[in-house]
Amino acid sequence: MPNFYPIMVAFAILMLLLLVCLVDAIPTTLDGPFPPLTVSLDDSGFRGNAVDLPGTDPRVRRMVNGFEPEQISVSLSTFADSVWISWITGESQIGEDIKPLDPNSVASVVRYGSLRHTLSHEATGYSLVYNQLYPFQGLQNYTSGIIHHVRLTGLEPGAQYYYQCGDPSIPAMSAVHAFKTMPISSPQSYPNRIAIVGDLGLTYNTTSTIDHMSSNEPDLIVLVGDVTYANLYLTNGTGSDCYSCSFPQTPIHETYQPRWDYWGRFMEPVVSTIPLMVVEGNHEIEEQAEHKTFLSYSSRFAFPSVESGSFSTFYYSFNAGGIHFIMLGAYISYYKQVQVAGKRPGKCR
Which of the residues 178 through 197 are near ligand NAG (CB under 6 A)? Answer: none
Buried b (16+ CB within 10 A) or exposed e, 212-234: ebeeeebbbbbbbbbbbbbbbbb
CB count within 10 Å of CB 71 equals 25
211 lies in the site for ligand NAG, by CB under 6 A: no
Shortest distance (Å) from residue 238 CB to ligand NAG = 4
The C-alpha atoms of residue 152 and residue 150 are separated, in whole angstroms, by 7
Q: Which of 289, 328, 338, 340 binds ligand NAG (CB under 6 A)?
A: 289
246 lies in the site for ligand NAG, by CB under 6 A: no
Q: Which is nearer to ligand NAG, 201 or 329 (CB)?
A: 201
CB count within 10 Å of CB 328 equals 13
Q: Which helix (H) or strand (E) holds 76?
A: strand 70-76
Q: Which of 236, 282, 326, 333 binds ligand NAG (CB under 6 A)?
A: 236
Shortest distance (Å) from residue 97 CB to ligand NAG = 6
User: 310-339 mask for ligand NAG (x: CB under 6 A)?
Assistant: ------------------------------
Q: Which is nearer to ligand NAG, 205 or 299 (CB)?
A: 205
Q: Which is nearer to ligand NAG, 205 or 273 (CB)?
A: 205
24 lies in the site for ligand NAG, by CB under 6 A: no
51 lies in the site for ligand NAG, by CB under 6 A: yes
27 lies in the site for ligand NAG, by CB under 6 A: no
Q: Give the distance from CA 133 to its chain's centroid.
A: 24
Cα–Cα distances in angstroms (integers) from residue 318 to residues 100, 163, 178, 264, 267, in the given order: 33, 22, 21, 23, 22
Span from 46-54, 160-168, 194-202, 304-312 in contact with ligand NAG (CB under 6 A): 46-54
238 lies in the site for ligand NAG, by CB under 6 A: yes
86 lies in the site for ligand NAG, by CB under 6 A: no
Span from 109-117, 156-164, 233-241, 325-333 in contact with ligand NAG (CB under 6 A): 233-241
CB count within 10 Å of CB 197 equals 17
255 lies in the site for ligand NAG, by CB under 6 A: no
The C-alpha atoms of residue 223 and residue 5 are separated, in whole angstroms, by 53
User: 144-183 mask for ligand NAG (x: CB under 6 A)?
Assistant: ----------------------------------------
Shortest distance (Å) from residue 157 CB to ligand NAG = 37
Q: Which is nearer to ligand NAG, 135 or 251 (CB)?
A: 135
141 contacts 288 by C-beta, under 8 angstroms: no
- Angle (nearest 5°) at CA 82 between 76 and 85: 60
Respond yes or no on whether the N-terminal peptide bond of residue 33 is cis (omega within 30° of 0). yes
Cα–Cα distances in angstroms (integers) from residue 67 to residues 107, 154, 175, 256, 331, in the given order: 10, 28, 14, 23, 34
240 lies in the site for ligand NAG, by CB under 6 A: no
204 lies in the site for ligand NAG, by CB under 6 A: yes
Dihedral, 298, 164, 143, 304 alpha carbons, nearest 10:
-10
The C-alpha atoms of residue 260 and residue 297 are separated, in whole angstroms, by 9
Instruction: List alpha helices for the chain, DSSP H.
Output: 5-24, 204-215, 243-246, 258-271, 295-300, 305-308
Span from 112-120, 163-171, 231-239, 312-320 in contact with ligand NAG (CB under 6 A): 231-239
Residues in contact with ligand NAG by CB under 6 A are: 45, 47, 50-51, 96, 133-135, 140-141, 204-205, 208, 234, 236-238, 289
